[in-house]
Amino acid sequence: MKYLILVRHGQSEWNLQKRFTGWVDVDLTANGKLEACKAGELIKELKLDISFFFCSYQKRAIETLNLILNTLRIRNSKITKAWELNERHYGALTGLNKDEMKKVHGEEKIHKVRRSWEYKPDPQDRNNPYHPINIEIYKNIPRNKIPDTESLKDTYERVVPFFKKNIFDKMSKNILIAAHGNSIRALCKYLLKIDNKNISKLEIPTGNPLFFEFDENKKILNAKYLDKDRSKDLLFFN
């Protein structure tokens, strides 16, 4: 049996401020760093030999993975950083406060923006300093690959092909991925076969490792959160 562990980064500064973050690079809070270290302790208890490590281009995911590796006492590991694992791009909502946007647009619409499968916010102006084309870490990504806004469907269409091409064939070994709420939702939709309607119900908590156990045919035998006190419903997985 082999294992895949997905970890949403620890709480970020913009998580704390309830701002739409998307592709903007923000730091972890002190609590977020503690969540990452706690994730490392939970993974350490499994006593697994983990062979491959992946994360997004974004420093909140990179720092989370590094804190986990420090906790595991793993040194000099090769980390694959992929922009395809980035958070969903929230378009013109990027940087805005979620509670304030509920007052402006209504709670139902903001829930639709955050959780629905195909709905996407208005595009972000490319002159906006928060647009990815104006953020240094994305300078090596082709301009035509950088979105102005995304739905979860759009996020799925970059995350899942990357997973199939670069990660799935490595699953004869144990793998750890540090990513984001929506890139992990996209992976869960694929792995757990969640339909377009019910994916809106799936929430991914920060810093709580999601543990998948596979058989030799890469069929999921088990899926669970390692921190049971902060676990979320995995919907229809038995």
Which pLDDT value is given to residue 55? 98
203 is catalytic: no
Structure tokens at 138: 């994305």
Which pLDDT value is given to residue 238? 47
Which pLDDT value is given to residue 236? 56
Which pLDDT value is given to residue 75? 84
Q: Check 9, 89, 131, 180 and give the catalytic one.
A: 9
Which pLDDT value is given to residue 233? 78
- Three-class secondary structure assignment of the chain: CEEEEEEECCCEHHHHCCECCCCCCCCECHHHHHHHHHHHHHHHCCCCCEEEEEECCCHHHHHHHHHHHHHHCCCCCCEEECHHHCCCCCHHHCCCEHHHHHHHHCHHHHHHHHHCCCCCCCCCCCCCCCCHHHCHHHCCCCHHHCCCCCCHHHHHHHHHHHHHHHCHHHCCCEEEEEECHHHHHHHHHHHHCCCCCHHHHCCCCCCCCEEEEECCCCCEEEEEECCHHHCCCCCCCC
Which pLDDT value is given to residue 140? 93
Which pLDDT value is given to residue 235? 64
Instruction: Give the CATH fold of the 2-90+151-230 domain.
Output: Rossmann fold (3.40.50)
pLDDT (tens place) for every residue of the chain, 238 residues total: 799 999 999 999 999 999 999 999 999 999 999 999 999 999 999 999 999 999 999 999 999 999 999 999 998 778 999 999 999 999 999 999 998 988 888 888 787 888 889 999 999 999 999 999 999 999 999 999 999 999 999 999 999 999 999 999 898 999 999 999 999 999 999 999 999 999 988 999 999 999 999 998 889 999 999 998 888 778 655 4
Q: Where are the domains of the chain?
A: 2-90+151-230
Scanning the structure block, which residue is given the tokens 């208890």? 45
Q: Check 35, 84, 87, 150 and give the catalytic one.
A: 87
Please say whether the beta carbons of 120 and 151 come within 8 A.
yes
Give the predicted TM-score (pTM) of the model: 0.94
Please say whether the beta carbons of 94 and 128 come within 8 A.
yes
9 is catalytic: yes
